[in-house]
């Protein structure tokens, strides 16, 4: 495409030529009849042509040349970051544009310089943090490995190298599954991701896994990493010595007891029997009997030692609470990974039980693999609570194994799954004796499990009305020196309460949770979460709303003690809640008994939302979270709601700054104005309802 200067001169030259040509033509036509008029026409054509060329020259000098200079200056800034002095004609037609552009380029250059300085400071701070972290991790006795979501190792400390035995597979960018038992670790990573999807991220239960090369048993614990989505930034594996060794996942000690040592003892016993039966003299016969008896006792002792070793090793695998629905989902994925052609479905609600889930999944996968070999293609896993625990029921349509076939499977080792145990030993670890019973269309394996150690209420849709809005709350009784501080520089404690009802005068506290927000960032690792025993019954309607049962609060501290602990957690911070007056009305009830006073400034995300957005809109926690793109995990739990409110607060701070309200005092004054507005709106609504 031609440049503007070329187009200008091309068009101007064309017009000039056309004007001059028209003058010549007119002059020729008039020359014979009116020579004077012909001369005038020629002169006019020449003047028009000259005018076109002069206009083009003026536009080129006054507009295009300065524009080219501006373009070069911009290209220099974009390409090198340097700002050159603009060299423009003394007179130009760009008005204030060059000056404004020069000012803009100066600001850009200054911003680039400040950005470079900030990068240098951030890099230095990050390097200092890295050095501090390295020093801390070096002296930590527990092994720590940080992995990406796919298992690639991003960080590990010296203790991890010691515990894992300096395996060849351990290194940055290598897979953790190469150095720690893949089956066990992958199961617990997947289980933790599933459980975190329904609520705030938490550390997983402890479990046992074997180091890939040394066979050392490790006591492990997983934590997901990721603020927005648990596990999105990987996971951290903490490992410690479990106290026993299992070589390469097959159990060297057990194999030695059962084969390497038992074989020679059996040979000695057989030799003694032959010697006894060969009719030796009396002394030789006595000696043969002694050898045979001692060999028998030694053989029996080795069998007992093998059993004790297996039992001791199995006891290293802890039982912990798991939902049967999670167990079913992970088992279905394990079958797909193993290529077992059985579709696994479910029946009934998920039930909590206590189990060593990794070994239990391997056991059930082994059984379904056996069934697949008999032509079974569909199975259903369900669970039923019973007085002494829970019974897993794995039902299928197809052949029914005989008792002998079931015993043969129970006595077979699960080597294929990296476990040095039989299915029977794993069942005994759970205190279970599995059995198979025929059904109308097939059969079912029944596997009893111990009851859960904790309490896990089933969540149902809440039936209580939303919390009433409170308007008679003084938002900032003592902002004091904090009033002039920028919002983003403050420390906040975002809280939420669960209660026996909605009346602060007659109802009581059941749960108090909070999370810190520091420098505009939610600190998920710094949370306060306590159940409370109010010393009174919990109404059934409230239990349906938040799921807190009398069993869950039995033995928990009273409200005054919990409030005293919370006051220490929240010391020096701005308090934040959604519909804050509701929560603080309950907390203020116990201040005298706790010997404390919550006199910090308070912000209410409900009022700030109403201030910044449509006052007539939905400003419930769900409504605000939906508008701001905040996902609420664990709704109607105090911790889940406080985490969601904290994410909302971070977004609202940015919106307040855009409105010019950058300090705590400005936010408090704006919130106070909303108190009266919403109170008047509520009064008008009440009048309209009565009318």
Q: Which residues are catalytic?
A: 636
Distance CA 661, CA 666 (A): 5
Spatial neighbors of 185 by CB under 8 A, at least 6 apart, are: 176, 177, 209, 220, 237
234 Ramachandran zone, left/alpha/beta (phi>0; psi -120 to 50) = left
Straight-line distance from the first to the last Cα atom of the chain, in angstroms, rounded to the nearest whole number? 73
Distance CA 340, CA 373 (A): 9
Q: What are phi and psi of 590, to 5 degrees?
A: -105, 5
Beta strands 574-577 and 602-604 are parallel
Distance CA 66, CA 649 (A): 49
| Residue 275 near residue 298, CB atoms below 8 Å | no
Distance CA 225, CA 630 (A): 18
Distance CA 210, CA 164 (A): 9
Distance CA 679, CA 691 (A): 19
Distance CA 329, CA 324 (A): 9
User: What is the crossing angle of helices 621-628 and 638-658, to 10°?
Assistant: 50
Nearest in space to 12 (alpha carbons), one of 78, 57, 74:
57
Look-up: residue for tokens 């007179």? 91
| Residue 652 near residue 630, CB atoms below 8 Å | no
User: What token pair was written down for 517?
Assistant: 């927000």
User: What token pair was written down for 233?
Assistant: 């930034």
Label residues 354-365 b or e (16+ Cβ within 10 Å = b).
bbbbbbbbbbbb
Nearest in space to 71 (alpha carbons), one of 88, 55, 57:
88
């Amino acid at each position: 495409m031609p440049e503007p200067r070329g187009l200008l001169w091309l068009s101007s030259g064309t017009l000039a030529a056309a004007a001059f040509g028209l003058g010549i033509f007119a002059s020729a036509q008039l020359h014979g009849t009116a020579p004077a008029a012909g001369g005038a026409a020629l002169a006019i054509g020449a003047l028009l042509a000259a005018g076109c060329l002069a206009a083009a020259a003026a536009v080129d000098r006054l507009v295009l040349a300065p524009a080219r200079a501006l373009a070069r200056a911009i290209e220099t800034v974009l390409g090198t970051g340097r700002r050159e002095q603009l060299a423009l004609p003394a007179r130009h037609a760009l008005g204030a544009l060059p000056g404004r552009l020069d000012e803009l380029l100066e600001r850009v250059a200054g911003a680039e310089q400040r950005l470079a300085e900030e990068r240098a400071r951030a890099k230095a701070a990050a390097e200092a943090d890295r050095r501090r972290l390295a020093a801390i991790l070096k002296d930590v006795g527990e092994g720590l490995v940080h992995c990406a979501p796919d298992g690639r190792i991003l960080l590990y400390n010296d203790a991890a190298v010691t515990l894992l035995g300096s395996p060849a597979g351990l290194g940055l960018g290598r897979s953790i599954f190469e150095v720690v038992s893949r089956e066990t670790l992958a199961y617990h990573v997947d289980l933790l991701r599933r459980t975190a999807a329904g609520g705030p991220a938490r550390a997983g239960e402890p479990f046992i896994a074997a180091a890939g090369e040394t066979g050392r048993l490790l006591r492990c614990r997983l934590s997901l990493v990721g603020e927005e989505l648990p596990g999105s930034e990987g996971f951290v594996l903490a490992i410690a010595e479990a106290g026993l060794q299992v070589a390469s996942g097959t159990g060297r000690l057990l194999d030695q007891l059962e084969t390497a040592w038992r074989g020679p003892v059996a040979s000695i016993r057989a030799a003694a029997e032959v010697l006894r039966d060969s009719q030796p003299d009396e002394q030789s016969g006595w000696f043969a009997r002694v050898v045979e008896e001692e060999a028998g006792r030694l053989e029996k002792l080795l069998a007992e030692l093998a059993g004790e070793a297996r039992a001791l090793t199995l006891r290293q695998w802890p039982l912990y609470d798991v939902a049967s629905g999670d167990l079913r989902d992970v088992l279905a994925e394990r079958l797909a990974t193993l290529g077992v052609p059985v579709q696994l479905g479910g029946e009934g609600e998920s039930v909590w039980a206590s189990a060593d889930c990794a070994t239990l999944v391997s056991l059930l996968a082994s059984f379904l693999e056996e069934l697949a070999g008999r032509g079974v293609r569909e199975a259903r896993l369900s669970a039923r609570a019973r007085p002494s625990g829970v019974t897993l029921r794995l039902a299928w349509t197809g052949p029914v194994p005989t008792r002998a076939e079931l015993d043969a499977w129970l006595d077979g080792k699960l080597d294929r799954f990296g476990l040095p145990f039989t299915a029977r030993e794993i069942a005994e670890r759970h205190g279970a004796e599995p059995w198979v019973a025929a059904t109308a269309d097939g059969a079912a394996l029944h596997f009893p499990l111990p009851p859960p150690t904790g309490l896990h209420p089933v969540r149902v849709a809440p039936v209580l009305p939303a919390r009433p809005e409170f308007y008679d709350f003084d938002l900032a009784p003592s902002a004091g020196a904090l009033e002039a501080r920028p919002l983003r520089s403050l420390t906040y404690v975002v809280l939420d309460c669960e209660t026996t009802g909605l009346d602060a005068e007659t109802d009581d506290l059941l749960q108090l949770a909070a999370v810190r927000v520091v420098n505009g960032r939610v600190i998920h690792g710094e949370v306060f979460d306590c159940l409370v025993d109010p010393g009174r019954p919990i109404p059934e309607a409230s239990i349906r709303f938040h799921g807190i049962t009398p069993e869950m609060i039995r033995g928990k501290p009273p409200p005054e003690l919990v409030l005293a602990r919370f006051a220490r957690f929240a010391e020096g911070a701005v308090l934040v809640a959604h519909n804050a007056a509701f929560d603080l009305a309950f907390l203020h009830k116990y201040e005298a008994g706790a010997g404390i006073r919550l006199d910090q400034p308070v912000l209410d995300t409900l009022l700030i939302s109403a201030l910044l957005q449509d006052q007539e809109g939905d400003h419930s926690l769900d409504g605000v979270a939906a508008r701001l793109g905040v996902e609420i995990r664990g709704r109607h739990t105090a911790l889940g709601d406080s985490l969601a409110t904290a994410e909302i607060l971070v977004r609202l701070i940015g919106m307040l700054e855009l409105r010019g309200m950058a300090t705590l005092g400005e936010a408090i004054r704006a919130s106070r104005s909303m108190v009266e507005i919403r109170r008047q709106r509520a009064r008008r609504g009440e009048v309209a309802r009565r009318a």
